[in-house]
Structure formats: structure tokens, C-alpha cells
Structure 1
Amino acid sequence: MNDEWLNAYVLHRRPYRETSYIVDFFTLEEGRISAVAKGVKNSKSDKKSLLQPFQHLRIQLSGKSELKNLRHVESVSPSISLVGTALFCAMYVNELSNRILPAGLASDGVYSAYESALNALHLNGDIEITLREFEFALLDEMGLLPDFTTDVEYEMPIEEKGSYHFQPDVGFIQMPDNMAGARGFPGSALLSLAQGEFTPLSKKVAKVLCRDLLKPLIGSKPLKSRELFMPQKR
């Protein structure tokens, strides 16, 4: 038995056998962790009602295997109310966290960014900035967030008027003048991102970079939450 209480959010739950769920939690203390919630599937218990996304919980787990047993769960604060696009974005944040975070990797930075993203979506904050800031936190934890201030080939500062090519696993490299017509990232946008500033141009750059950097982490299986943003066929 483990008497430690963990701060947690539900990322996903799925049926397990006839009466139970397997619940994927994102916890502050132990990162992503999965547990069996026994006997709650067909009940009207408080435990079942609490096992919903977007609510700050405290949980107690038991068991020595990777798949734990959920002993206790209680609410820390009310569920965060989300509707429409904000809800779809929060589902994307959950799915991204569940797909990318290694089991058992605790991260204060990603946990804080996760809570900030949910709160920003609840308060109708800028959706693009909210998603990019969370994606940056996730990439930083995975060691994949590039240095936005340095030309890695020449070990020189990024120039505001320069244009840069991004090489995965390496970083930004200034493009020669004779390649000015090729696709490149403006130095001004990279320097804005280095300062945490999201201008119209740096937003576009951040979106492209995050898409490319997250792709190998997500893998070939499409994210279900992205389908919610697609126009419905009539």
C-alpha cells in the first residue's frame, strides 16, 4: 500500500473487463501513470464522476506493477468548463500528453504548462499561443526544443534580417544569399520566439516548427483530436 497522495488530471480512460476502467493520469509527482479503477463502470459512485478530464484531483494508488490500482480519488477544485473549440484544444493537449510523455517521467515544467493551457482555454485566451506554449514545454522536456538565438553552423547569434534553415537534431543554420527564394525562417521571428513573444509572423513559424518537431514523437497513428477541427462533410 502507498499512502502518498498525487496531484493528477485524467488524460484518458477506457473500459476494462466488465465493471472497471483503465485510467491514464498525468501527475505532478510521478508523471504519466495508468491505473485500474475497479468496479466503477456501471456505478453512480463519486469515484466514477470524478474520473473525467480537466479536473484537478488527488489520487492514491497501490501495486508494484506498471499498471496500478486506484485506491482513492478526491477533487481538489471544480472541473474546468470548456466548450467548442476550447474543448477540442484541451482534448488535443490531453492526447498529445498521453501519446508523447514517457510513463513515470515527472516534469514540473510540463505539468505547470498543462494547467496553464487548461486555464487559458477556459478564459478564452489566444488559442494559438496557448497550444504553442504547451507544445514548446513538451518539446523542451523531450530535449527537442531548438535554440532560437544561435546559428549552430557558425556559432553566431541569429540575425534579425537573416533567413534560416532548420535542420532536425541540429538547429538553425543561416541560408546563403543565393538561396533567398527558398523557404526559410525569418531571423526576426526566431528572436521573437526566443523572448516568448508571439507576433503574427512568429506564430506562423512556431506552428510549422511544432508540427515538424512533434511528428516523429506522435508517430504514424493520427491524433483523434485533430479530426475534430476538420470541416464536417455534409
Structure 2
Amino acid sequence: MRERVDFESACLIHHRVVGEQDAVVTVFSRRYGRLSLWVQGKLSQPGSIPLFKPMLISWRSKGSSHQLIKLEVDSAYPTLLKAELTSEYLFSAFYVNELIQHFLPELADSSSLYDDYLWYLESMAQRVFIEPVLRIFERQLLISSGWLNDLSVDLLTGEAIRADAYYIAVNHEHYGVGVTLLRAEPQTYHSAQVSNEIEATKTSQACRILGATLIAFNSNNLSNQVSLNEVKGLMRWFIRCLLNGKPLKSRSLFKSFKLTL
């Protein structure tokens, strides 16, 4: 990375105080993905850098250490700068930030995903139906971060998803990605190991999904409640698998307010 970066569009993801006048903040930036910055002075205090607002930030780097030196609002996003997220819209944004903290690589160009994130925040500011937008962002985050295979194809055969076939989720152990989908019929594959794994995985209904639902999901069309419920189960399975049992703090907010996003 360059020794100094100026006016990079970024959003605060996490703020951790480490002293009376010091903090470490995690930001999601357009060209550098997830980045941790050392902050001193007034900006180190909680609330001094607003959440869910695009900022233009400047920092200097020395080795693997990065220090924030300047911050101002990014006026290119007036809707977000004026918006105040509340209730379930606020909680869902906290959840998305936590996913970014877990899954987005550090110092990786994430321009497309950054646009997806701002789209998500704008959707929350407009108080749209949360679940379809949330599922789409979850998918984009995991694919962009390399944890999820393209959901439009069967990874092993390379064949396009068939509307009339069922597919199951499998973990990364043999397939070189975090999680992916394989067609649910073992006879589709030549490998006995793959066939046996599919038979074992089919006992978990949360991992099984109709091809037509996947096609709709890939087209960002989740207007059908049945399809939305299937996709919700699938994405929850993917995320639970990748977290390997580690709880998400934002989930406790959902439970406290009886939300089921």
C-alpha cells in the first residue's frame, strides 16, 4: 500500500477504544476493502465517527500500521448523510457490518461490493422490506470475499442450475471454496466420495433448495414468500457453516426485539 492515501470513500464498521485518547476503527473502503486504522484525539471517542455514513478518509501507513489523519463527509451520497436508521433497519445494518467484519478480506479492492453496501444502507433508509435486500447482500458479500461459489452453476459439473432439480449445500473440505452447491442426485457425479457426501448431507433439510429458487435468487427476484424462506434457510446455513459455531453479537439484538431476519 502507498505510504499515504487521501480522500478514500469509506464507512465505519467497528470502533474500539484502546485508551483515553486512542482507538482502533475498522472501515469498509471502496478500493482497499476492510481496513483497521489507528485513531487519536477527538475522533477516538465513541460516536465521533458516525456509523452508516459514507466518509472521505485520509491515512498514512508505516508497514502494516495505518493511522487516520483526516475525515470528512462524502457529499456524493446525500440520501445516506440525511438518513437515520431505526428499529429493525438499524439492527439489520449492525448485522451486515458484523458480517463484513468476519468475512471481507483486508486490503482487497472491493469497489463493486462497496456499491452493494451503500445500496443496502439506502434501502434501509427507505424502509423497504428487509429480507430480500438482506439475502442479496449476504450472497454478494460471500461471493466477493471468495467464501461462496457462483450460485448459478453446479461447481463440479459446471452445468447451469436446472429449475426442476434440487441442490444441496456442502462445505469447503473438498471443493476449494468456503461453501457451494451440488445437485442432490448422487448419480450425477462419477466420484463415490462426492456421492456419499451428498447422501449424508441430504438429511439436513435446511441445506436443500429447488433450482427454480436459485434461479430467482440469482436474478434478485425474491417476491415469492416460499422462495424467500428457502433462500433464508440456505444463507443461514452458509453463514453458520463458515462461522464454525462462532455466535454473531447482532443476533442477540434480533432475539431481544423478537426479529427473525
Q: Does 2:200 correspond to 1:197?
A: no
Q: Does 2:215 correspond to 1:217?
A: no
Deviation at 1:102, TM superposition (A): 1.5
The letter of the residue matching 1:135 is E
Q: Find the partner of 2:115 among 89, 112, 116.
A: 112
Cα 1:232–1:175 change in 2 (3 A) is same
Deviation at 1:96, TM superposition (A): 0.9
1:160 is matched with which residue? 163
Cα 1:151–1:122 change in 2 (3 A) is same
Give % identity: 27
2:16 is matched with which residue? 14
Q: Find the partner of 1:26 among 25, 28, 33.
A: 28
Q: Does 2:170 correspond to 1:172?
A: no
The letter of the residue matching 2:18 is Y
2:88 is matched with which residue? 85
SS at match of 1:196: coil
Deviation at 1:30, TM superposition (A): 1.0
Once the two structures are superposed, what CA deviation does each residue of 1:199-224 show, in whole Å capped at 9, x if it has no partner?
A: 22221222122122223433433111
Rounded to whole Å, the distance in 1 between the matches of 2:237 and 2:93 is 21
Which segments of 5 or more consecutive residues in structure 1 lack a partner in the other structure? none
2:211 is matched with which residue? 187
Cα 1:153–1:10 change in 2 (3 A) is closer
Cα 1:41–1:72 change in 2 (3 A) is closer
Cα 1:216–1:64 change in 2 (3 A) is farther
Q: Find the partner of 2:138 among 135, 148, 155.
A: 135
Rounded to whole Å, the distance in 2 between the matches of 1:49 and 1:148 is 38
TM-score (norm 1): 0.84
Once the two structures are superposed, what CA deviation does each residue of 1:78-133 show, in whole Å capped at 9, x if it has no partner?
A: 25310000000000011111121121112112111110110101101121111111
Once the two structures are superposed, what CA deviation does each residue of 1:49-68 show, in whole Å capped at 9, x if it has no partner?
A: 65121111011101213331
Cα 1:40–1:173 change in 2 (3 A) is same
Q: Does 2:230 correspond to 1:208?
A: no
Superposed CA RMSD: 2.7
* Pairs within 5 Å for 1:31-46: 31-40=33-42
Rounded to whole Å, the distance in 1 between the matches of 2:146 and 2:61 is 31
The letter of the residue matching 1:21 is A
Which segments of 5 or more consecutive residues in structure 2 lack a partner in the other structure? 76-80, 188-198
* Higher relative helix content: 2
Rounded to whole Å, the distance in 2 between the matches of 1:2 and 1:115 is 25
Q: Which one is further off, 190-199 or 9-18?
A: 190-199
Q: Is the 8 A contact 1:166 1:172 kept in 2?
A: yes
SS at match of 1:221: coil
Rounded to whole Å, the distance in 2 between the matches of 1:32 and 1:221 is 20
